[in-house]
Protein backbone atom coordinates (compact mmCIF):
# COMPACT_ATOMS: atom_id res chain seq x y z
CA UNK A 1 0.00 0.00 0.00
CA UNK A 2 1.20 3.50 -0.88
CA UNK A 3 0.48 6.36 1.50
CA UNK A 4 0.71 10.05 0.54
CA UNK A 5 2.65 11.72 3.35
CA UNK A 6 3.70 15.37 3.23
CA UNK A 7 4.41 15.43 -0.49
CA UNK A 8 5.61 11.88 -1.12
CA UNK A 9 4.04 8.53 -1.85
CA UNK A 10 5.70 6.11 0.57
CA UNK A 11 5.27 2.47 1.51
CA UNK A 12 2.92 1.76 4.40
CA UNK A 13 5.82 0.76 6.68
CA UNK A 14 7.52 4.11 6.07
CA UNK A 15 4.41 6.23 6.70
CA UNK A 16 5.22 7.59 10.16
CA UNK A 17 4.58 10.80 12.09
CA UNK A 18 6.46 12.28 15.03
CA UNK A 19 5.44 11.64 18.63
CA UNK A 20 5.52 15.45 18.95
CA UNK A 21 2.77 15.88 16.34
CA UNK A 22 -0.12 17.73 17.97
CA UNK A 23 -2.59 15.56 16.10
CA UNK A 24 -1.32 12.63 18.16
CA UNK A 25 -0.71 14.53 21.39
CA UNK A 26 -3.96 16.50 21.51
CA UNK A 27 -6.25 15.33 18.71
CA UNK A 28 -5.54 18.66 17.02
CA UNK A 29 -6.39 18.31 13.36
CA UNK A 30 -9.14 17.56 10.85
CA UNK A 31 -10.01 14.76 8.47
CA UNK A 32 -12.31 13.59 5.70
CA UNK A 33 -13.54 10.13 4.71
CA UNK A 34 -14.20 9.84 0.98
CA UNK A 35 -15.48 7.02 -1.24
CA UNK A 36 -14.52 6.06 -4.77
CA UNK A 37 -16.48 3.84 -7.15
CA UNK A 38 -15.69 2.46 -10.61
CA UNK A 39 -12.56 4.55 -10.97
CA UNK A 40 -14.18 7.82 -9.84
CA UNK A 41 -13.97 9.64 -6.51
CA UNK A 42 -17.46 10.56 -5.32
CA UNK A 43 -18.05 14.20 -4.39
CA UNK A 44 -14.31 14.86 -4.06
CA UNK A 45 -14.58 18.63 -4.36
CA UNK A 46 -17.32 18.79 -1.70
CA UNK A 47 -15.22 16.77 0.73
CA UNK A 48 -12.13 18.91 0.20
CA UNK A 49 -14.18 22.09 0.56
CA UNK A 50 -15.47 20.80 3.90
CA UNK A 51 -11.92 19.92 4.94
CA UNK A 52 -10.90 23.53 4.39
CA UNK A 53 -13.95 24.75 6.32
CA UNK A 54 -13.07 22.49 9.27
CA UNK A 55 -9.47 23.71 9.16
CA UNK A 56 -10.56 27.34 9.04
CA UNK A 57 -12.86 26.80 12.02
CA UNK A 58 -9.96 25.60 14.18
CA UNK A 59 -7.56 28.29 12.87
CA UNK A 60 -5.44 25.77 10.96
CA UNK A 61 -3.86 27.35 7.87
CA UNK A 62 -3.34 24.85 5.08
CA UNK A 63 -0.32 25.43 2.81
CA UNK A 64 -1.98 23.61 -0.08
CA UNK A 65 -4.84 24.72 -2.31
CA UNK A 66 -8.06 22.76 -2.69
CA UNK A 67 -6.97 21.87 -6.22
CA UNK A 68 -3.64 20.59 -4.88
CA UNK A 69 -5.30 18.28 -2.38
CA UNK A 70 -7.74 16.97 -5.00
CA UNK A 71 -4.74 16.12 -7.17
CA UNK A 72 -2.83 14.48 -4.31
CA UNK A 73 -5.91 12.39 -3.51
CA UNK A 74 -6.28 11.20 -7.09
CA UNK A 75 -2.58 10.32 -7.22
CA UNK A 76 -2.86 8.28 -4.04
CA UNK A 77 -5.84 6.26 -5.23
CA UNK A 78 -4.22 5.62 -8.63
CA UNK A 79 -0.97 4.48 -6.99
CA UNK A 80 -2.84 1.77 -5.08
CA UNK A 81 -4.52 0.20 -8.11
CA UNK A 82 -8.02 0.18 -6.66
CA UNK A 83 -11.24 0.91 -8.56
CA UNK A 84 -13.52 0.93 -5.50
CA UNK A 85 -12.66 1.85 -1.93
CA UNK A 86 -12.35 4.39 0.82
CA UNK A 87 -10.01 7.34 1.38
CA UNK A 88 -8.98 8.72 4.75
CA UNK A 89 -7.43 12.17 4.41
CA UNK A 90 -5.95 13.58 7.62
CA UNK A 91 -4.40 16.97 8.36
CA UNK A 92 -2.70 17.39 11.74
CA UNK A 93 -1.50 20.59 13.38
CA UNK A 94 2.02 19.26 12.88
CA UNK A 95 5.02 18.95 15.15
CA UNK A 96 5.50 21.39 18.00
CA UNK A 97 6.54 21.76 21.57
CA UNK A 98 4.70 20.11 24.44
CA UNK A 99 1.75 22.21 25.51
CA UNK A 100 -1.52 23.27 23.93
CA UNK A 101 -0.29 26.34 22.05
CA UNK A 102 -0.99 25.59 18.37
CA UNK A 103 1.06 28.57 17.21
CA UNK A 104 4.21 26.68 18.20
CA UNK A 105 3.56 24.22 15.35
CA UNK A 106 5.16 25.82 12.28
CA UNK A 107 3.61 23.61 9.59
CA UNK A 108 0.72 21.13 9.42
CA UNK A 109 1.22 17.56 8.28
CA UNK A 110 -1.04 15.66 5.89
CA UNK A 111 -1.41 12.03 4.93
CA UNK A 112 -3.82 10.27 2.58
CA UNK A 113 -4.75 6.58 2.78
CA UNK A 114 -6.58 4.78 -0.04
CA UNK A 115 -7.84 1.37 1.04
CA UNK A 116 -11.13 -0.47 1.63
CA UNK A 117 -13.65 -0.33 4.46
CA UNK A 118 -16.61 -2.42 5.59
CA UNK A 119 -18.59 -0.69 8.31
CA UNK A 120 -21.48 -3.14 8.68
CA UNK A 121 -22.01 -6.80 7.68
CA UNK A 122 -23.73 -7.14 4.33
CA UNK A 123 -26.85 -8.80 5.74
CA UNK A 124 -27.79 -5.61 7.58
CA UNK A 125 -28.05 -3.73 4.28
CA UNK A 126 -30.71 -6.28 3.33
CA UNK A 127 -32.44 -6.86 6.66
CA UNK A 128 -31.77 -3.58 8.49
CA UNK A 129 -29.97 -2.46 11.65
CA UNK A 130 -31.11 -2.54 15.27
CA UNK A 131 -30.16 0.68 17.09
CA UNK A 132 -29.94 1.66 20.72
CA UNK A 133 -30.00 5.09 22.33
CA UNK A 134 -26.74 5.73 24.17
CA UNK A 135 -26.27 7.81 27.31
CA UNK A 136 -23.29 9.71 25.87
CA UNK A 137 -24.58 13.07 24.61
CA UNK A 138 -23.35 15.11 21.70
CA UNK A 139 -21.34 18.16 22.86
CA UNK A 140 -23.10 21.50 22.71
CA UNK A 141 -21.97 23.79 19.86
CA UNK A 142 -20.52 26.15 22.45
CA UNK A 143 -18.23 23.36 23.68
CA UNK A 144 -17.17 21.68 20.44
CA UNK A 145 -18.59 22.67 17.06
CA UNK A 146 -20.28 19.57 15.58
CA UNK A 147 -19.54 20.72 12.02
CA UNK A 148 -15.80 20.37 12.50
CA UNK A 149 -14.57 16.90 11.54
CA UNK A 150 -11.77 16.98 14.06
CA UNK A 151 -9.35 14.27 15.10
CA UNK A 152 -10.83 14.44 18.61
CA UNK A 153 -13.40 11.67 18.14
CA UNK A 154 -13.55 10.41 21.71
CA UNK A 155 -17.18 11.49 22.15
CA UNK A 156 -18.22 9.29 19.23
CA UNK A 157 -15.94 6.45 20.32
CA UNK A 158 -17.45 6.29 23.81
CA UNK A 159 -20.92 6.21 22.26
CA UNK A 160 -19.77 3.36 19.99
CA UNK A 161 -18.48 1.51 23.07
CA UNK A 162 -21.97 1.74 24.56
CA UNK A 163 -23.46 0.30 21.38
CA UNK A 164 -21.01 -2.60 21.27
CA UNK A 165 -21.54 -3.40 24.95
CA UNK A 166 -25.28 -3.53 24.25
CA UNK A 167 -24.68 -5.92 21.31
CA UNK A 168 -25.70 -3.25 18.80
CA UNK A 169 -23.78 -2.04 15.77
CA UNK A 170 -24.86 1.58 16.05
CA UNK A 171 -26.36 4.02 18.55
CA UNK A 172 -28.37 7.21 18.42
CA UNK A 173 -26.84 10.20 20.19
CA UNK A 174 -29.02 12.90 21.71
CA UNK A 175 -28.07 16.48 22.48
CA UNK A 176 -28.38 18.00 25.94
CA UNK A 177 -31.99 19.03 25.22
CA UNK A 178 -32.94 15.44 24.42
CA UNK A 179 -33.30 15.90 20.66
CA UNK A 180 -31.77 13.44 18.23
CA UNK A 181 -28.45 14.69 16.87
CA UNK A 182 -27.05 11.79 14.85
CA UNK A 183 -25.56 8.35 15.36
CA UNK A 184 -21.98 7.62 16.38
CA UNK A 185 -20.82 7.91 12.77
CA UNK A 186 -23.90 8.38 10.61
CA UNK A 187 -26.72 10.80 9.92
CA UNK A 188 -30.28 9.63 10.58
CA UNK A 189 -33.44 9.89 8.48
CA UNK A 190 -37.01 8.79 9.12
CA UNK A 191 -40.05 8.65 6.87
CA UNK A 192 -43.51 9.42 8.22
CA UNK A 193 -46.62 9.61 6.05
CA UNK A 194 -44.50 9.87 2.92
CA UNK A 195 -42.38 12.78 4.24
CA UNK A 196 -38.61 12.46 4.71
CA UNK A 197 -37.40 13.94 8.01
CA UNK A 198 -33.88 14.46 9.36
CA UNK A 199 -32.47 16.31 12.41
CA UNK A 200 -31.45 19.92 12.17
CA UNK A 201 -27.75 20.69 11.85
CA UNK A 202 -28.17 23.00 14.83
CA UNK A 203 -29.30 20.04 16.95
CA UNK A 204 -25.82 18.51 16.64
CA UNK A 205 -25.91 16.65 13.34
CA UNK A 206 -22.91 16.76 11.06
CA UNK A 207 -23.73 18.29 7.68
CA UNK A 208 -22.81 15.02 5.98
CA UNK A 209 -21.98 14.79 2.29
CA UNK A 210 -24.17 11.69 1.93
CA UNK A 211 -26.88 13.46 3.93
CA UNK A 212 -26.85 16.18 1.28
CA UNK A 213 -27.03 13.60 -1.51
CA UNK A 214 -30.17 12.09 0.06
CA UNK A 215 -31.83 15.52 0.18
CA UNK A 216 -30.94 15.99 -3.50
CA UNK A 217 -32.43 12.59 -4.31
CA UNK A 218 -35.59 13.44 -2.39
CA UNK A 219 -36.04 16.55 -4.51
CA UNK A 220 -35.45 14.61 -7.74
CA UNK A 221 -37.89 11.86 -6.66
CA UNK A 222 -40.51 14.45 -5.65
CA UNK A 223 -40.48 13.16 -2.06
CA UNK A 224 -41.22 16.01 0.38
CA UNK A 225 -38.62 16.49 3.10
CA UNK A 226 -38.08 18.55 6.23
CA UNK A 227 -35.13 19.27 8.47
CA UNK A 228 -36.46 19.64 12.01
CA UNK A 229 -35.89 18.65 15.62
CA UNK A 230 -36.65 14.98 16.24
CA UNK A 231 -37.08 12.96 19.43
CA UNK A 232 -36.92 9.23 20.10
CA UNK A 233 -40.73 9.28 19.96
CA UNK A 234 -40.57 10.39 16.33
CA UNK A 235 -38.36 7.41 15.52
CA UNK A 236 -40.56 4.96 17.45
CA UNK A 237 -43.62 5.96 15.41
CA UNK A 238 -41.84 6.35 12.07
CA UNK A 239 -42.89 4.30 9.06
CA UNK A 240 -39.26 3.85 7.97
CA UNK A 241 -35.77 4.75 9.12
CA UNK A 242 -32.31 4.67 7.60
CA UNK A 243 -28.79 5.96 8.20
CA UNK A 244 -26.32 7.61 5.85
CA UNK A 245 -22.59 8.21 5.84
CA UNK A 246 -19.60 8.04 3.54
CA UNK A 247 -18.42 4.75 5.04
CA UNK A 248 -21.91 3.38 5.80
CA UNK A 249 -23.46 4.62 2.51
CA UNK A 250 -27.24 4.10 2.98
CA UNK A 251 -28.41 1.40 5.41
CA UNK A 252 -31.94 0.68 6.67
CA UNK A 253 -32.91 0.62 10.35
CA UNK A 254 -35.67 -1.68 11.66
CA UNK A 255 -35.65 -1.11 15.41
CA UNK A 256 -34.64 1.30 18.17
CA UNK A 257 -34.17 0.16 21.75
CA UNK A 258 -35.88 -3.15 20.88
CA UNK A 259 -38.96 -1.36 19.55
CA UNK A 260 -39.86 -2.23 15.98
CA UNK A 261 -39.91 0.62 13.48
CA UNK A 262 -42.68 0.42 10.92
CA UNK A 263 -43.16 -3.11 9.60
CA UNK A 264 -39.81 -4.24 10.97
CA UNK A 265 -38.41 -4.49 7.44
CA UNK A 266 -36.67 -1.96 5.17
CA UNK A 267 -39.43 0.17 3.68
CA UNK A 268 -40.21 0.98 0.05
CA UNK A 269 -38.98 4.60 0.14
CA UNK A 270 -35.79 3.53 1.91
CA UNK A 271 -35.17 1.06 -0.90
CA UNK A 272 -35.71 3.82 -3.47
CA UNK A 273 -33.09 5.95 -1.75
CA UNK A 274 -30.66 3.04 -1.60
CA UNK A 275 -31.10 2.34 -5.29
CA UNK A 276 -30.90 6.01 -6.25
CA UNK A 277 -27.72 6.42 -4.22
CA UNK A 278 -26.11 3.38 -5.86
CA UNK A 279 -26.95 4.65 -9.33
CA UNK A 280 -25.51 8.07 -8.56
CA UNK A 281 -22.28 6.83 -6.99
CA UNK A 282 -21.59 4.50 -9.90
CA UNK A 283 -22.27 7.07 -12.61
CA UNK A 284 -20.57 10.25 -11.36
CA UNK A 285 -17.41 11.48 -9.71
CA UNK A 286 -13.85 12.65 -10.36
CA UNK A 287 -11.75 10.20 -12.41
CA UNK A 288 -8.35 9.48 -10.89
CA UNK A 289 -6.59 7.54 -13.63
Would you say how long the chain is, in residues? 289
Give me the catalytic one of 2, 118, 149, 160. Answer: 149
Q: Is 149 a catalytic residue?
A: yes
User: How many other C-beta atoms are found inside a 10 Å radius of the C-beta of residue 63?
Assistant: 8
User: How many other C-beta atoms are found inside a 10 Å radius of the C-beta of residue 158?
Assistant: 13
SS (H, E, C) 186-254: CEEEEEECCEEEECCHHHCCCCCHHHHHHHHHHHHCCCCEEECCCCHHHHHCCCEEEEEECCCEEEEEE
- 6 with 16: CB under 8 angstroms? no
Alpha helices in 58-171 (DSSP H): 66-79, 122-127, 154-165
Task: Name the residues annotated as catalytic.
Answer: 149
Amino acid sequence: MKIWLDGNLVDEAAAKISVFDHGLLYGDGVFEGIRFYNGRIFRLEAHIRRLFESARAIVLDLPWSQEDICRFTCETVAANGLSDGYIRLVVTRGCGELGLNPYLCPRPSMFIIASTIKLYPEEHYTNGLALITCATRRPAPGALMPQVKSLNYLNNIMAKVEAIQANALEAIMLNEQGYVAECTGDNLFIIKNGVLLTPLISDGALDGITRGVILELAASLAIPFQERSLTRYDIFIADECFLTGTAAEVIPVVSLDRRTIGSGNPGPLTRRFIEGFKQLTHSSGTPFS
